[in-house]
Each structure stands twice: as structure tokens, then as C-alpha cells.
Amino acid sequence: MTTSLAEENYLKIIYRLCEGTKEDISTNSIAELTNNKAASVTDMLQKLAEKGWVTYQKYQGVRLTKIGQNIALSIIRKHRLWEVFLVEKLGYNWDEVHEIAEQLEHIESETLINKLDSFLDFPKIDPHGDPIPSQEGEIPELGYLHLSEVKLNETCTLMGVAKDSAVFLQLLTKLNLSLGARLEVVEINTFDRSVSLKIAEQEPIFISHEVAKNILVKV
């Protein structure tokens, strides 16, 4: 069966919402991320359930079926591979590629994405450190921590980000925080959980808990 652009966007977003939790996903949370109204979401959920891509009961939320998951993973795979292409081959910065990849991820051609994968030398992660699902839908488990979970005086390496909005990425760039940076947690403020970090030999920098939560590291 074939998927429309709208359906693909819904599946992708439902996948993202499922990732965090075992609970079923609410109509409202989907409405928020798709920028649609709840009524429109209900409509679409019924169609997706028809097609067997989600399980859905009125008022009880929604989950992806195995098939739905695979569709979502193939879109995520395409998105992330195109992002690697844009950064590695065309010279974009990591904060510039999301919007374009949102379009490219809907190009349908199995051979295309596999040739692209090979052309890029089978990358395992995208420019934000997010893992790239395999053709079979396997996601390499990377076991990263959120920077906000790292203990005082520990040192870690910046491996990725949990959010790829342009403003967030630009902030990191301004703070000189890029993939691979070595970070030492030199202070954790108990009041607001803000964090002070030492990057290599530089003066320590301060970041909010909100920022720390969205940085992924390996200890």
C-alpha cells in the first residue's frame, strides 16, 4: 500500500511520541506536533487505523502497529541520510538541514536511498548524532545519557542532541558545543539545575537545565 505525504508526517510524529513512553499517545499531543487541530487528527487516526498502521480506540489514544513502525522508520532513515548528504557533501551547517530534509524524506524510491547510503559510506549517525535506522528498521542503540544526568565532576563527550530546532543548534554552536567536544561538569546549581561546563581549556560556560536535557553524551 502507498502512503501520502500527510500520512507519512503523522506516522513519523506518532513514532516520535511513542519512543519516550509505553503509554498510548493522545490526540492533542499529535495535534501539537503536526500543527493541526485535534479534530483533524481524530479524522486521520481513523484512516490510519483503517489501513492497519496504528491501533486506535476512541478516547483511548493510539499506538503504531509493527507495519506503522516500519513505515515511520523508513521515513526517519531517509530524513537522516539526506541530512548527512546535505552536511557532508553540500557543506550545510547542522542547523540548516532540517527543513530541507523534511521535504527530501518523502521522495519514494527504495533504490535511491540505498544508493545514497552507499555513496555516504553507510553512516551510522546523522549530523545531530541521531542514529540512522538500517534498511530492515534496526536502530543502532547508542546508550547515550542526557547531559542533565551526568554527575558533578564527571567528564563526557558530546555525542548528539535530542532536539534539532535551528535556534537550539545555533545556541550550541555559539557556545562552541559541537559533536565530539569533551565536557567536564564543574558545577550543578541545585536551585534551577543549571550546569557549569568546562570545554577543553576554555573558561567554564553556563547552560540551563533545559539545554542540558537536550544534549546527549557518552561518559
Residues found near DNA in the complex (CB under 7 A): 4-7, 9, 26-28, 35-47, 56, 58-61
Integer angstrom CA distances of residue 193 from 151, 152, 190, 207, 217: 12, 12, 5, 9, 17
Distance of CA 190 to CAs 115, 150, 194, Å? 50, 14, 8
Residue 6 interacts with, from DNA, a copy of itself, none (CB under 5-8 Å by kind): DNA
The total of other beta-carbon atoms located within 10 Å of residue 39's CB is: 9
C-beta closer to a copy of itself: residue 97 or 212: 97
Gyration radius of the chain over CA positions: 19
Q: Alpha-carbon distance 175 to 195, whole Å?
A: 13
Cell of 95: 542547523
Strand partners, 50: none
By CB under 8 A, which span of 61-69, 107-115, 154-162, 171-179 interacts with a copy of itself? 107-115
Query: Beta strand 195-199 with 205-207: parallel, antiparallel or unpaired?
Result: antiparallel
131, interface contact from a copy of itself, DNA, none, CB < 5-8 Å by kind: none
27 contacts which partner out of DNA, a copy of itself, none, CB within 5 to 8 A by kind?
DNA
Q: What is the DSSP letter of 76?
A: H
Q: Tell me the site size for a copy of itself, rule CB under 8 A.
A: 16
Kindly state the smallest distance separating residue 155's Cβ from a copy of itself, in Å: 37
Cell of 22: 509505553
Of residues 180 through 209, those in contact with a copy of itself by CB under 8 A are none
Q: Which does 42 bind (CB under 5 to 8 A by kind): a copy of itself, DNA, none?
A: DNA
Q: Of these partners, DNA, a copy of itself, none, which one is at the site of residue 35 (CB under 5 to 8 Å by kind)? A: DNA
- Among the residue ranges 20-28, 111-119, 192-200, 201-209, the one whose residues contact a copy of itself (CB under 8 A): 111-119
The letter for the amino acid at 128 is H
Residue 128 contacts residue 161 (beta carbons within 8 Å): yes
Tell me the closest approach of the beta carbon of residue 100 to a copy of itself, in angstroms: 5
Residues that bind a copy of itself in the complex, under the rule CB under 8 A? 86, 89-92, 99-100, 103-104, 107-109, 112, 115-116, 119
